[in-house]
Amino acid sequence: MEALKNRRFIIIVDTETSLVLYVFKGVDKDYLVSPCKMCTCSDFVINFLWGKRKHPCYHVIGFYIALKEQKFVKIALSHEEVKEVVFEIVFQGFSKLLRKALSRQMS
């Protein structure tokens, strides 16, 4: 799966509240995912939740594999940063801060 190699499955830990978030980092859109359960993408909502398809979206299934194979990226952020990342994903569909934090962590 291309997404596993490209480090798209991100686990964010809030260092102050121990809140844990699962994020699928897409090419131009990010989604909040509850692993093995639900996702905020339109494919999940339209085809699985409202539609008749029996399996959820690529992100939910992908996270299941990423967790099983330990192919996720785990990152610790402050509460302020977590708030910003969630705000960006929910209201803009894309988090710039997440990308900044990831490149900071890798350098």
- Contact positions vs Zn ion (CB under 5 A): 39, 41, 44, 57, 59
Question: Given the complex with Zn ion, which of 39 and 81 has the nearer CB atom?
Answer: 39
- Looking at the Cβ atoms of 61 and 73, the one nearer to Zn ion is 61
Smallest distance, Å, CB 79 to Zn ion?
26
Per the CB < 8 A criterion, the answer to whether 53 and 47 are in contact is yes
Distance CA 77, CA 69 (A): 23
As a whole number of angstroms, the distance between CA 95 and CA 56 comes to 23
For Zn ion, which is the closer residue by CB, 44 or 101? 44
Shortest separation between residue 96's beta carbon and Zn ion, angstroms: 20
From CA 34, how far away is CA 15, in angstroms rounded? 19
β partners of residue 24:
9, 31
In whole angstroms, the minimum distance from the beta carbon of 14 to Zn ion comes to: 22
